[in-house]
């Protein structure tokens, strides 16, 4: 799929994210918008999946370790045909297939339940180990949050992935620089994050997480890297695409009101990206 097609899809996903969170009056717009472009490339260009058979055993797997960005994943899955886009507006509502944080038992297309930070990378390692054991060539993708890597379990899993040479595993760090209480740098620095992963035995690629060509190339480089897992450190903008949300820590977990929703959607509809 070419860059312009992907950009169009990403824009539609962002509009859905805003509408879903506004309708729910709850959710995490900032971190959903920052990883939308990455999700778009994965689900529309790179991952080997069958939306009509979500549990196909040879499929590529995906784990949203930063589970609070679920609206972006749900909007992506719906756009890809796992379930109706109409269902998106049921986010967080009682009885919905769309829980605030991903629940693999509720939503078609989810490969893992997440939400408590730090746990998704371990699950992705388990999926990658199973792939090696069964000599299958599926790949496993996992998106991590930047604040999330403050969890110790991430580094336990980072060691496991390198020790077992899980070159079928690609992690993508959604590095938007902000977490609930402020900038990573103020709360607790994660830097130098590239050197940390290198020291843990990973192949590290640094990209602009909103440049579709760079995202694609990085995923391809990860695929051709043998003997070690790859992490793509994607510099992103929290709230990307909505001017008043961009780089604003306050939009981590706040829903837009109706006026803000309209403004955000109008902006996204007008935007080229």
Partner 1 sequence: MSAATREAYGKALVELGEKNKNVVVLDADLSKSTKTAEFQKAYPDRFFNIGISEQDMMGTAAGLATCGKIPFASSFAIFATGRAYEQIRNSIGYPKLNVKIAATHAGITVGEDGATHQSIEDISLMRGIPNMVVINPSDAEETRQAILAAAEHYGPVYIRLGRMAVPDIHDKNYKFELGKGEIIREGKDIAIIATGIMVSIALEAADKLKEEGINATVVNMHTIKPIDRELIVKVAKQTGKVVTAEEHSIIGGLGSAVCEVLSEEYPVRVKRIGINDTFGQSGTPKELLKYYNLTFQNIVDVVKSFD
Of 123 and 242, the one with the shorter C-beta distance to partner 1 is: 123
Asked if 121 touches partner 1 (CB under 8 A), the answer is: yes
Residue with token string 């640094």 = 206
Q: Could you give the CA distance from residue 133 to residue 129 in angstroms, rounded to a whole number? A: 6
Q: Where are the alpha helices (DSSP H) in the chain?
A: 3-24, 29-34, 36-41, 70-80, 120-133, 152-163, 184-187, 193-199, 212-224, 258-270
Closest approach, Cβ 116 to partner 1, in A, equals 4
Please, how many CA atoms are within 13 Å of residue 136, restricted to the half-sphere of its CB? 18
Q: Could you give the CA distance from residue 95 to residue 187 in angstroms, rounded to a whole number? A: 36
What is the CB neighbour count within 10 angstroms for residue 11? 20
Q: Quote the radius of gyration of the chain (alpha carbons, Å).
A: 17
Kindly state the tokens that stand for 122.
Answer: 């371990």
Of 7 and 104, the one with the shorter C-beta distance to partner 1 is: 104
Interior CA angle at 156 toward 151 and 161, to 5°? 125
Of 29 and 131, the one with the shorter C-beta distance to partner 1 is: 131
Is 33 within 8 Å of 14 (Cβ atoms)? Answer: yes
Give how many residues touch partner 1 by CB under 8 A: 35
Closest approach, Cβ 177 to partner 1, in A, equals 26
Residues 55-84 that bind partner 1 (CB under 8 A): 57, 61, 63
At 66, is the secondary structure helix, strand, or coil?
Answer: coil
Is 64 within 8 Å of 99 (Cβ atoms)? Answer: no
Asked if 184 touches partner 1 (CB under 8 A), the answer is: no
Applying CB under 8 A, among 54, 81, 108, 126 the residue interacting with partner 1 is 126
Residues 135-174 that bind partner 1 (CB under 8 A): 152-153, 156-157, 159-160, 163-164
Applying CB under 8 A, among 108, 115, 201, 253 the residue interacting with partner 1 is 115
Asked if 53 touches partner 1 (CB under 8 A), the answer is: no
Closest approach, Cβ 162 to partner 1, in A, equals 11
Asked if 48 touches partner 1 (CB under 8 A), the answer is: no
Before 192, cis peptide (omega within 30)? yes
Of 54 and 263, the one with the shorter C-beta distance to partner 1 is: 54
Applying CB under 8 A, among 7, 129, 165, 206 the residue interacting with partner 1 is 129
Residues 81-100 that bind partner 1 (CB under 8 A): none
Q: Could you give the CA distance from residue 260 to residue 237 in angstroms, rounded to a whole number? A: 19
Q: Could you give the CA distance from residue 86 to residue 16 in angstroms, rounded to a whole number? A: 10
What is the CB neighbour count within 10 angstroms for residue 271? 13
Is 18 within 8 Å of 265 (Cβ atoms)? Answer: yes
Asked if 111 touches partner 1 (CB under 8 A), the answer is: yes
Of 55 and 270, the one with the shorter C-beta distance to partner 1 is: 55
Closest approach, Cβ 199 to partner 1, in A, equals 16
Closest approach, Cβ 76 to partner 1, in A, equals 19
Applying CB under 8 A, among 100, 104, 217, 248 the residue interacting with partner 1 is 104
Applying CB under 8 A, the residues found at the interface with partner 1 are 57, 61, 63, 103-105, 111-113, 115-116, 118-131, 133-134, 152-153, 156-157, 159-160, 163-164
């Amino acid at each position: 799929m070419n860059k312009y097609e992907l950009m169009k899809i990403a824009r539609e996903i962002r509009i859905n994210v805003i509408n879903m969170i506004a309708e729910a009056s709850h959710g995490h717009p900032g971190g959903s918008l920052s990883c939308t472009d990455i999700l778009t490339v994965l689900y529309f260009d790179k991952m080997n999946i069958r939306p009509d058979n979500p549990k196909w055993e040879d499929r590529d797997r995906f784990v949203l370790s930063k589970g609070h960005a679920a609206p972006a994943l749900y909007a992506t899955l719906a756009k890809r045909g796992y379930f109706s886009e109409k269902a998106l507006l049921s986010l967080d509502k009682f009885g919905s297939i769309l829980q605030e944080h991903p629940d693999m038992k509720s939503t078609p297309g989810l490969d893992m339940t997440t939400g408590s930070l730090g746990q998704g990378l371990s699950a992705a390692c388990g999926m990658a180990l199973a792939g090696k054991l069964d000599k299958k060539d599926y790949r496993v993708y996992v998106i991590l949050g930047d604040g999330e890597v403050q969890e110790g379990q991430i580094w336990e899993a980072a060691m496991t992935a390198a020790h077992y040479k899980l070159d079928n595993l690609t992690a993508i760090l959604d590095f938007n620089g902000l977490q609930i209480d402020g900038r990573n740098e103020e709360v607790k620095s994660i830097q130098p994050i590239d050197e940390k992963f290198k020291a843990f035995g990973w192949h590290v690629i640094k990209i602009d997480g909103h440049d579709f060509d760079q995202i694609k190339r990085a995923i391809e480089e990860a695929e051709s890297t043998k003997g070690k897992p790859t992490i793509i450190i994607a510099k992103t903008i929290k709230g990307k695409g909505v001017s008043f949300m961009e780089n604003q820590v306050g939009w981590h977990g706040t829903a837009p009101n109706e006026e803000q929703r309209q403004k955000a959607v109008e902006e996204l509809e007008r935007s080229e990206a």
